[in-house]
Amino acid sequence: MGSTSDYGEFLAKKEGYVVAVVGVTGAVGQIMLEILAERKFPVSKLIPLASSRSAGSKIEFMGREYVVQDLEQFDPAGIDIALFSAGGDTSKQYAPRFAEAGCYVVDNSSAWRMDENVALIVPEVNPHAIKMAHANRIIANPNCSTIQMVVALKPLHDAVPIKRVNVSTYQAVSGAGSEAIDELAQQTGQLLNAEQPNVDVFPARIAFNVIPQIDVFLEDGYTKEERKMIDETRKIMEADIAVTATAVRVPVFYGHSEAVNITFDGEMNATLARELLAEAEGICVVDDPASEDYPMPTEAAGTDPVWVGRICDDHSCPNSLHLWVVADNVRKGAALNTVQIAEMLIQ
Ligand SMILES: NC(=O)c1ccc[n+]([C@@H]2O[C@H](COP(=O)([O-])OP(=O)(O)OC[C@H]3O[C@@H](n4cnc5c(N)ncnc54)[C@H](OP(=O)(O)O)[C@@H]3O)[C@@H](O)[C@H]2O)c1
């Protein structure tokens, strides 16, 4: 990962920083607290924030209990870093206020990702883009399915430029938040008890099903999730790569999987790709067909790397490969990437 010393100083060196976690009661916010503690991020004071719905409730961080505060009533003066994961509308409304008060915002929502003045960062891929944050103090965290894919694409693209990517995703329900996790658990129980399942969060029943729709449909027939993968990949990779995507929700709690087909603008093969991926930062290669060993969400869940396997030549097209890419969507796809960006701000 690049050192931010090349990109100018963001926050002056101190023993600890005042860190606000906005959306602290959510699926991502909860894992952010875990990762801040695990990575010993120097937090001198934690400010847990959510909506008025959960203001007053208690959360735990590093063995201490904190009372959740209402974002709407909160004055951001004195915060060093705010980690936002409370939806796009909340970020649009509050992130500029936090930035104007002098704090750096790392935002998990899609609100700022495609803003040309906002850096969209995966630290293993484009750390240099953080320079843009000197101007506006807001940094966007990419979409979860984009993050794990670009971590795998980057070392290959550095060796031989990528021309086209065709990805199909198999996305866990946790990508849609804590209510979605509850819905899969509840529907599974209902179906096993021969009851009619309640369908609230997803457009159709998710238990014992797959849904080829994530987010809303756009005019061209793609979904918004697919469009995010296309646009964000090109922004992060800073390359004119043709990308197409089919995003599918599957009844898995944690861990997104992706079948990625890549065409290169030059000679590439599975052997070289395996070597490049094995040496790359943030990637673990598990690719042993002889012992039926490949990455799966059950094993990736709760871990930090992007897991890559099933690396093979695509015989239907020259200089093309297949990869199978799996990562914990709430960790590398959200909270971990956010904390890694926060670490860049204090390096
Ligand atoms: N889950 C993932 O894998 C993932 C990956 C990448 C990005 N993201 C993004 O991260 C964000 C949060 O996702 P999540 O999965 O954690 O969702 P979630 O489990 O539904 O949690 C949402 C959080 O946002 C808070 N919130 C909602 N409206 C708010 C408001 N008006 N003011 C203050 N806080 C508000 C909620 O607080 P209350 O308890 O008060 O309701 C809760 O803490 C979304 O923008 C999502 O797109 C998620």
- Tens digit of each residue's pLDDT (9 = 90 or more) over 222-264: 999 999 999 999 999 999 999 999 999 999 999 999 999 999 9
Euclidean distance between CA atoms 310 and 49, whole angstroms: 42
Sheet holding 119-120, edge to edge: 69-70, 43-50, 17-22, 81-84, 104-107, 138-140, 119-120
In tens, the pLDDT along 155-165 reads: 999 999 999 99
Q: How many angstroms does the Cα of residue 340 sit away from the middle of ligand 1?
A: 19
Task: Give nearest CA residue, ligand 1 atom 3.
Answer: 175
Q: Whose CA is nearest to atom 14 of ligand 1?
A: 177
334 lines ligand 1 (CB under 6 A): yes
Identify the residue whose C-alpha is closest to ligand 1 atom 20. 177
Cα of 108 from ligand 1 centre, angstroms: 9
Residues 256, 284, 315, 317: which is the catalytic one? 256
> Has residue 5 got a pLDDT over 90?
no
Listed residue (53, 30, 232, 273) closest to 143, CA to CA:
232
- Looking at every residue in the chain, the average pLDDT score rounds to 97
Q: Which of 144, 157, 284, 315 is catalytic?
A: 144
For residue 91, the ligand 1 atom closest to its alpha carbon is: 45
Q: State yes or no: is 317 an active-site residue.
A: no
CA distance 40 to 289: 38
Q: Is the CB of 224 under 6 A from ligand 1?
A: no
Please indicate whether residue 344, judged by its CB atom, sits closer than 6 Å to ligand 1: no
Measured from the CA of 23, which atom of ligand 1 is nearest? 43
The pLDDT score that the predictor gives to residue 3 is 53
Give the percent of the chain with pLDDT over 90: 97
Query: Which DSSP symbol is given to 163?
Result: E
Tell which atom from ligand 1 comes closest to the C-alpha of 25: 43
CA–CA distances in Å: residue 151 to residues 74, 76, 233, 314, 331: 36, 33, 10, 21, 14
- Tokens representing 100 are 């104007």
Residue 69 CA to ligand 1 center (angstroms) comes to: 15
Ligand 1 contact via 106 beta carbon (within 6 Å):
no
Quick one: what percent of the chain has pLDDT higher than 70?
A: 99
90 CB near ligand 1 (under 6 Å): yes
For residue 103, indicate whether it is catalytic: no
Q: Which two tokens stand for residue 162?
A: 């990528």
**Is there an atom of ligand 1 within 6 Å of 177 CB?**
yes
Mutate to test the pocket of ligand 1, among 30, 51, 215, 250 (most ligand atoms within 8 A of CB): 51
Q: Is the pTM of this model over 0.95?
A: yes
For residue 4, pLDDT over 70 is answered with: no
Residue 8: pLDDT band by 50, 70, 90 thresholds?
confident
Ligand 1 atom 10: the closest Cα is on which residue?
85
The DSSP H or E segment spanning 81 is strand 81-84
> Across residues 273-293, what is the average pLDDT?
98
Say which residues have a Cβ less than 8 Å from residue 195's Cβ, sequence separation at least 6: none
pLDDT value at residue 179: 98
State yes or no: pLDDT of 267 exceeds 80.
yes
